[in-house]
């Protein structure tokens, strides 16, 4: 099911990022950067509706919103092509309208449950967190048809053109509809490890740097999922975004990871780490390690707050189903003189690890839905 909360949505300009990584005993291979320019533009009024919304861009959340400048709200689905274009900023014109039927418009986003918005930026009240929350990414796959999922589809769902991907062209991800809820299903091939042959990766560059962000997603490992020795899951990154057992001084990464049996950790690279591969920040329930279940949806949320450069006053927090399982208020995400911040969501999931001992003996399946990046709490 989709979150009943109200979300806000804004798409900044994609920028170029070079991100390279290598295979190892604890991490992943992958190369490439990202590029693109443009903002969001839209014309036509804002629409509130109990039906569905169709247009050439924009995003759906839920019902009852008002606004101006290409902002729509609806309880139904969203269909359209195109997405976001422009050389700068967010724009939109037109009057607000309400209707009991369906709504259509060009550009803009969709706000929910008493939400308001203008110029393609959405904010809303209700649900978890601050009512002024602004969403940078909200991918829920409602508009997608069942079947294969391509790199071109990422643009409409995540709001950018990925510069590269692992696994999408190979058909490892499909859109599935289960009880009228659409989500991504990932298949990890038998005997494979790493993203090139055994997983999926792509970047969601935000086009600007943030000092604090929240990221949430839902994941469901198929009943009986074999976690083997471990595997990667999405997370926030910034600067040079180090991975692949290649730590760097000019960036950080904070992806989730499952370990043996489904033990949940945050797998982080940071400037002063003492080992080559990333550090595990264990999700703990008191003195007990927290594990991913199989056969049921779980909602994970991260908070990353950058530190004052050179001072260990950064923050990392993590929640599972709204319960806090990790908190560190003395993180050092950047060293003295560094100016980078959080600039990318790294969708990354595969078994590994850098050798066949990480690979599953038979194909495994996991489902992903409701990937949201925002400036305020999302699920708690």
pLDDT digits (tens, 9 = 90+) for 306-354: 999 999 999 999 999 999 999 999 999 999 999 999 999 999 999 999 9
Mean pLDDT for the chain overall: 76
Which among 59, 39, 341, 11 is positioned nearest to 206, based on CA atoms? 11
Look at residue 245 in the predicted model and tell me its pLDDT.
85
Q: Over 50: is that where the pLDDT of 100 sits?
A: no
Q: Where are the domains of the chain?
A: 27-34+139-374, 40-138
Q: Note the pLDDT tens digit of each residue in 261-309.
A: 999 999 999 999 999 999 999 999 999 999 999 999 999 999 999 999 9
Look at residue 188 in the predicted model and tell me its pLDDT.
98
Q: From CA 245, how far away is CA 200, in angstroms rounded?
A: 18
Q: Could you tell me if 349 and 233 are in contact, meaning their C-beta atoms sit under 8 angstroms apart?
A: yes
Least confident of 86-90, 158-162, 228-232: 86-90
Q: From CA 337, how far away is CA 83, in angstroms rounded?
A: 37
Look at residue 254 in the predicted model and tell me its pLDDT.
98
Place of tokens 């806090």: 324
Q: From CA 226, how far away is CA 121, in angstroms rounded?
A: 42
Tell me what the mean pLDDT of segment 24-53 comes to.
39
Determine the topology of domain 27-34+139-374 in CATH.
Answer: Jelly Rolls (2.60.120)
Look at residue 6 in the predicted model and tell me its pLDDT.
39
Name every residue whose Cβ is closer than 8 Å to that of residue 332 and which is 6 or more positions away in sequence: 270, 271, 272, 307, 310, 311, 312, 314
């Amino acid at each position: 099911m989709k979150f009943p909360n109200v979300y806000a949505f804004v798409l900044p300009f994609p920028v170029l990022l070079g991100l390279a990584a290598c295979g190892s005993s604890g991490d992943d291979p992958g190369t490439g950067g990202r590029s693109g320019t443009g903002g969001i533009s839209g014309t036509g009024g804002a629409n509130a509706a109990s039906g569905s919304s169709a247009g050439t861009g924009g995003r759906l959340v839920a019902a009852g919103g008002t606004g101006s400048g290409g902002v729509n709200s609806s309880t139904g689905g969203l269909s359209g092509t195109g997405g976001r274009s422009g050389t700068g900023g967010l724009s939109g014109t037109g009057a607000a309208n309400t209707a009991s039927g369906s709504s259509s418009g060009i550009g803009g986003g969709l706000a929910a449950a008493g939400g308001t918005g203008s110029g393609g930026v959405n904010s809303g009240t209700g649900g978890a967190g601050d009512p002024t929350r602004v969403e940078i990414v909200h991918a829920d796959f409602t508009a997608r048809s069942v079947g294969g999922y391509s790199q071109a589809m990422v643009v409409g769902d995540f709001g950018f053109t990925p510069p590269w991907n692992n696994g999408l062209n190979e058909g490892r991800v499909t859109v599935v509809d289960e009880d009228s809820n659409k989500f991504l299903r990932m298949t990890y091939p038998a005997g494979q490890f790493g993203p090139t042959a055994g997983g999926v990766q792509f970047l969601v560059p935000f086009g600007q740097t943030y000092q604090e962000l929240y990221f949430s997603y839902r994941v469901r490992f198929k009943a009986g999922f074999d976690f083997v020795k471990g595997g990667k899951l999405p997370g926030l990154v910034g600067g040079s975004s180090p991975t692949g057992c290649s730590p760097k001084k000019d960036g950080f990464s904070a992806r989730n990871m499952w370990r043996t049996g489904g033990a949940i950790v945050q797998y982080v690279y940071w400037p002063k780490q003492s080992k080559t591969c990333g550090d595990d920040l264990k999700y703990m329930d008191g003195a007990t390690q927290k594990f991913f279940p199989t056969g049921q949806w779980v909602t994970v949320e991260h908070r990353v707050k950058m530190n004052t450069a050179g001072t260990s006053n950064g923050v990392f927090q993590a929640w599972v189903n709204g319960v806090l399982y990790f908190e560190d208020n003395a993180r050092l995400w950047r060293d003295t003189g560094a100016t980078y911040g959080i600039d990318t969501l790294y969708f990354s999931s595969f078994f590994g690890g850098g050798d066949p001992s990480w690979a599953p003996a038979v194909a495994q399946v996991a489902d992903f839905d409701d990937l949201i990046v925002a400036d305020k709490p999302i699920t708690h």
